[in-house]
Structure 1
Amino acid sequence: MPEPTDLGDAAGYRPLLFSIAYGMTGSVGDAEDIVQDAFLGLTRAHQVGTEIAAPKAYLTTSVTRLGINHLRSARVRRETYVGEWLPEPVVVSADRPGPAEHAELADSLSMAFLVLLEALSPVERAVFMLREVFGYDYPDVARTTGKSEANCRQIFARARKRIAAAGPVADSAPAPARRAEGGELARTFFEAAAGGEMDALLGMLAPGVVFHGDGGGKARAIGKSVTEPLRVVQLFVGGLRRLRSLGAALRPVWINGRPGALIVDAEGRVASVVELDVVDGMVRAIHSVSNPDKLGHIGPVSDIARLPEARLRETR
């Protein structure tokens, strides 16, 4: 006879569940809602006397399938999104540690990797992420997604090809040495940017560097990704100079397991988040999120990066 469901022990699965939900949606708020809904389902099952022998399997299955359903309903909104879409940043720092499930987010869920996952269908995304990021074996992937094991193998192979076609597959979680190197490079990079040291910045950029910006039509951001290194530097330094003239400052943080910075106004409110994707000692990509709708989970949001009301009406 199965053991009674232990809801207290089940709470320990929240970091894993949040990581799965966030990897599926790219949204902190939606991930939290999905995890909460999964626990509500477990509680209701417990209340009606349903014995659940494996709460972890029950919850991961619930979160994964809720994530699939969410993506299906969100696809139309993504298609009408103003400008380039980037995931909501998960920020971890000494003074802003956030909930435990955020702090323990898998490093492999970088912003670059989550953007690549956008090329997949909801089911492909679930299968690929469970197998590639969380190391589930095929029987568990099949049970979690409700597909056959043979089908999951086919879906994973197809998803891997689509990811490879979309861009370089993200590195696995950084080793301590590479993490330290990334943190030091980020510190030097932001210091050079603050000082307008163009040549120093160019020396830190990989030849194929890409600058991505997400303002959601509500805050200042580049309209589409920029790839020419000099133009990347000019845009970044120019934008930072404008914000600093309004009293903004940089605060080093870790974003989705990568080095970055919060840009905060004179009152400490968040205006933007910048993540650096560092590979082999060079900055391969810069992701900047200034859409105020994607910053509220970090703290109070500044209005210094917002577009004027007239521009807001034009983008609707």
Structure 2
Amino acid sequence: MFEEQRARLFGLAYRLLGSASEAEDMVQETYLRWSRRSSATAGPVEVPAAWLTKVLTNLCLNQLDSARLRREAYVGPWLPEPVLTGDGALGPLETVEQRESVSMGVLVLLERLTPVERAVFVLREAFGHSHAEIGDLLGIDEAHSRQLHRRARAHVGEPRKRFESDREQHRRIVEVFMAATMEGDVATLERLLADDVTAWADGGGTSTAARRPVHGHAKVLRYLLGLGTRPEAARVSLEILETNGEPAVAIRDADGGALYAVMVLDVEDGRVTATRTVISPVKLAFAAAQLAM
């Protein structure tokens, strides 16, 4: 029974934490508690899925409290751990809400929320729980759940426009953008970059990456052209993969296949409004393991 719930629980934990490795830990702890509960004499659980969801959510809320302190001391921009989603690792991503809730852009925005606001947002937006159900899961009343959801939605905003666009067009833009970056095609990059584009890079303090976001058309253009001229650029291969529900670029060693970086692009109205690149080896470990399967 637990194995039937594992993928859903992992998808929930990842949305709450933005970390695949921590999500795995929370799912494992939930399993241990389920195992102990099943072997006890307390009687059967009436609705196992609800029991597991409640236990996992509360574990993640506790984890978020400590994660907030760690991220305040994080070196450089913080980005979520990328997860390859083409094989359903985070559950179904069939609706705009489901894809939005695992995107890097939205996961970064969720960092603005309190842990309980984040839980309400994820349970409502990604999993479709009613406010009455959310109240039962979090130990709050229905009206409070509605209030928290409104507050969370106000903080997150309405980024859905880019999720409702043509996904094939998004993929083509990613392909053209990366080719232009690697080839130093200034004209194409100038055309594709939005005026207010921002480039984020997460090296975690252990890999070379910009310590601050690069903002603005001219600065991001110079930044990208610099990437294409680095010596290691000639020794990598690029692969377009679905990551966090969107087309993304996996940058790998051309010979051994080691994963060096994952870059996700925000695309609106045919132009790139943001690039988010994860370079930290720690944060790439989960995606690298997926590629090795």
TM-score, normalized by length of structure 2?
A: 0.89
* CA distance in 2 between partners of 1:270 and 1:40 (Å): 32
* CA distance in 1 between partners of 2:91 and 2:189 (Å): 30
Partner of residue 84, structure 1: 77
CA contact (8 A) 1:14 1:101 kept: no
2:193 counterpart (162, 184, 205): 205
Question: Percent of aligned positions with the same letter in both sequences?
Answer: 36
Aligned residue type for 1:201: L
Shift of 1:172: 7.5
Shift of 1:92: 4.1
2:17 counterpart (19, 25, 42): 25
Q: Where do 1:6-85 residues align within 5 Å? A: 7=1, 10-49=2-41, 50-85=43-78
Shift of 1:72: 0.6
Shift of 1:267: 1.7
Q: Where do 1:102-141 residues align within 5 Å? A: 102=90, 104=92, 106-108=98-100, 109-141=102-134
CA contact (8 A) 1:82 1:216 kept: yes
- Indicate how the Cα distance of structure 1 residues 170 and 11 shifts in structure 2: closer, same or farther if over 3 A, else same: farther
1:190 counterpart (159, 173, 178): 178
- Indicate how the Cα distance of structure 1 residues 289 and 243 shifts in structure 2: closer, same or farther if over 3 A, else same: farther
Alignment of 1:279 with 2:268, yes or no, is: yes
Alignment of 1:296 with 2:288, yes or no, is: no
Shift of 1:272: 0.9
* CA distance in 2 between partners of 1:53 and 1:192 (Å): 57
SS of residue matched to 2:29: helix
Q: Deviations over 1:113-160 (max 9, x none)?
A: 000000011111111221123221100111111111121122222222
CA contact (8 A) 2:162 2:266 kept: no
CA contact (8 A) 2:8 2:90 kept: no
Shift of 1:11: 2.1
* CA distance in 2 between partners of 1:243 and 1:33 (Å): 38
RMSD of aligned residue pairs (Cα, Å): 2.0
* CA distance in 2 between partners of 1:69 and 1:258 (Å): 29
Shift of 1:228: 1.0
SS of residue matched to 2:99: coil
CA contact (8 A) 2:80 2:108 kept: yes
Shift of 1:37: 1.4
* CA distance in 2 between partners of 1:202 and 1:55 (Å): 54
CA contact (8 A) 1:16 1:101 kept: no
Q: Which protein has the bigger helix share? A: 2
- Indicate how the Cα distance of structure 1 residues 243 and 123 shifts in structure 2: closer, same or farther if over 3 A, else same: farther
* CA distance in 2 between partners of 1:162 and 1:151 (Å): 17
Alignment of 1:155 with 2:185, yes or no, is: no
Q: Where do 1:246-265 residues align within 5 Å? A: 247-265=235-253
* CA distance in 2 between partners of 1:111 and 1:132 (Å): 16
CA contact (8 A) 2:162 2:268 kept: no
CA contact (8 A) 1:110 1:170 kept: no
* CA distance in 2 between partners of 1:134 and 1:241 (Å): 44
Q: Give ranges in structure 1 of 5+ residues lacking alignment.
A: 1-6, 301-316
SS of residue matched to 1:101: coil
Matched residues, number: 282
SS of residue matched to 2:235: coil
SS of residue matched to 1:288: strand
- Indicate how the Cα distance of structure 1 residues 37 and 193 shifts in structure 2: closer, same or farther if over 3 A, else same: same
